[in-house]
Chain A
Amino acid sequence: MTAAGVAPAGPTPGAFFAAGAAGWGFGGLAAALALLPLVVPDYQQVFVAEILVWGLFAMSFAIVFGFGGMLSFSQAVFFGMGCYGFNLGTLYFGFNTWGAVVSAVLAAALLALPVGYIATRVRHHHFLIVTVIISVLVTTVLESGHWRWIAGPYVTVSLTFVPEVPLGFTRFSFIDEWVAYYFTVVMVAAAFFLAWRIVHSPFGRAMLAIKDNEMRAQMIGLNVNKLRWMLFVLAAGIAGHAGALYALLARYTNLEFFHWIYSGKAIVMAMIGGVGSLVGPFVGTAFYMLSTEYLSRYFQQFIIVFGFILLLVVRYAPDGIWGMVLRGARGLGRHGQASKP
């Protein structure tokens, strides 16, 4: 194990990004995303926005699994809670879009507090089982007619009005695709950079230490269960944020989003892209969404293809597409240094 603060263990992009490539990469990406509406038609802007939203959902899984070593099947519940919180904020409390997004994140994080408390007290297989069971519990409560007072009309709902974003003295209406696009880009970028700062903070390093060797982390005085719990709630909040952005973008939510099998979508997208970094899930999501667009033209059961891709990724490239790219870049860099003298 290297000294704390130097490149962390595992497939993290430490060495590569330390060279300032991260700054250039993100700057270029920001410029590309900002200029995109000039070159692509409206409906494709919405498609790009959807990739970003699902990428954020996949990233929430990568945070839990890639940085915390927790194989969670409950990300969908928090995505669903985001939709629910958004609808509750908009339709019940009458918040504007900003308030509704905040209430979505709060709803997901509030549910994650007790769920995470129970789930992070157990390890490995028990953790997975608990996340599945809790997802089933939430879905059962929401879909039963008996507990309508909890579910209310806020689980499966289509917004009947066009959302607006008040900003300063003006309001932007989602009726323009570019408004939806820029709003999503800004919100996803905000969540991404918050998560980036957190996983590269001492807290993030501590999580990697726990994932690496839990007993050693405990020996050096880390409160393992509490840190795992904090990471779980953080990832849940991000999944809820993604849920709110989806509810805004599609103006439609469904009980299906809460189902534990829906977490599989995040797992597939994040694993394909790579769970060792925060960028990987977005790469995986872009791959997933683009190939889905293409494959679904030819046959309906295209998900079977992703089943096989998942098997191949697990077998041959456990750090995903982005992990392979980083390894390639690092290999090139080392090669360049070696051949210089």
Chain B
Amino acid sequence: MSDLVIILAMNGLVWGLIIALIALGLSIIFGLLDIINVAHGDFFMVGTVFAWTVILITGNFWLAFLIVPLIGMLLGSLVERAVIRPVENSAALSIVATFGLSLILQEAVRATFGATPKRILDPIGVTVPILGLDYQVYRLFAAAIAIAAIVAFFLFLHRTKFGTWMRATRQDRDTAIAMGVPSNRIFVVTFGLGTALAMLGGVVAAPITTVEFRLGLDVLPLCFMAVIIGGLGNLPGTATAAVLLAFVEGIITSFAEPTTARIFSLIFMSGVLLLRPQGIFARSTR
């Protein structure tokens, strides 16, 4: 029994790190462009589909880690210019536009990739014994990749000129523009980066989930929960909340049904929303 708890908690941790990666993209887009990207889950789904396609074409899964985020960067930049920029003055309309985008992505994948779910084989195919149970090495690798990407993202945000510009724009858009920050370029890069994070999350998750066009619909609410509990626009809070949520859900799943775990976290989220709408990690009053 206790072995099961540890395995499920580890699974939760791995999945939580992947969700953290995706939710960071959602959160950074929110922080800078002030919109909720309803198509974010679908970008994740497109990432898994591209991972599948890369295997189909090259036969090498590892290439996907390189190619797919680049495609995501391009796709996101394009979407920002073509879809978001023209309606940037109305947040509500931009969100409706991202919903249109979500329909397009889902149906495009259904038309080309097909409606039947597919599976990607474990690319490492090695298990290690943990407490007498075989554990997939790939899951540990996925966790490592997710951690590396999150660390790289924060380094980019805090150690590079572009990252500083992004943080400045998030803090005060008008002042940043007055100081000469190229805000238009920042918005394009932000959306591209957010999309790249979601699609990287898709590649990392592809071998441990099924690949299908509806995948984004389940992932988006998870990101929303992480974003609410961590605080909308609070990046470290979002990442922490995603990991904690999945970890706790994993532990609850070991003695109750997965549904009960999910309902527990949804109710917890409602409580956070009513009592601390700025998220549980917000320290100072802003």
Chain A residues with a Cβ under 8 A of chain B: 65, 69, 71, 118, 121-122, 124-126, 128-130, 132-134, 136-137, 140-141, 144, 146-147, 259-261, 264, 267-268, 271, 299-301, 303-304, 306-311, 314-315, 318
Contact = CB atoms under 8 A, between A and B. Distances in A.
B97 A310 contact: yes
Contacts of A301: 107-108, 110-111
Nearest to B223: A129
Majority SS at the chain A contact face: helix
15 contacts: A69-B92, A71-B95, A125-B35, A129-B232, A133-B221, A133-B225, A137-B263, A137-B266, A141-B259, A144-B257, A146-B259, A260-B217, A301-B107, A310-B99, A314-B94
B98 to A, nearest CB: 10
A145 B71 CA distance: 40
Contacts of B87: 314-315
A318 to B, nearest CB: 6
Given A126-B228, A128-B36, 7 more contacts: A71-B92, A129-B232, A132-B224, A136-B266, A144-B257, A260-B217, A264-B102
B224 A129 contact: yes
Given A130-B273, A271-B96, A301-B111, A306 B103 contact: yes
B228 A147 contact: no
B221 A132 contact: yes
Nearest to A316: B86
B144 interface: no
B199 interface: no
B104 A307 contact: yes
A314 B85 CA distance: 12
Contacts, number: 118
Interface of B: 30, 35-36, 38, 83, 86-87, 90-97, 99-104, 106-108, 110-111, 217, 220-221, 224-225, 227-228, 232, 257, 259-260, 262-263, 266-267, 269-270, 273-274, 277
Contacts of B110: 301
Contacts of A260: 217, 221
A141 B263 contact: yes
B273 A118 contact: yes
A132 B220 contact: yes
Contacts of B263: 137, 140-141
Nearest to A114: B270
B274 A129 contact: no
A129 B223 CA distance: 10
Contacts of A141: 259, 263
B83 A126 contact: no
A28 to B, nearest CB: 32
A126 B273 contact: yes
A129 B266 contact: no
A315 B96 CA distance: 10
Contacts of B267: 137
B115 to A, nearest CB: 9
Contacts of B91: 124-125
B100 A122 contact: no
In order of increasing CB-CB distance, the 6 nearest A-B pairs are: A310-B100, A307-B104, A307-B103, A144-B259, A304-B107, A301-B111
Nearest to A143: B259
A136 B225 CA distance: 11
Contacts of A308: 100, 104
A304 B221 contact: no
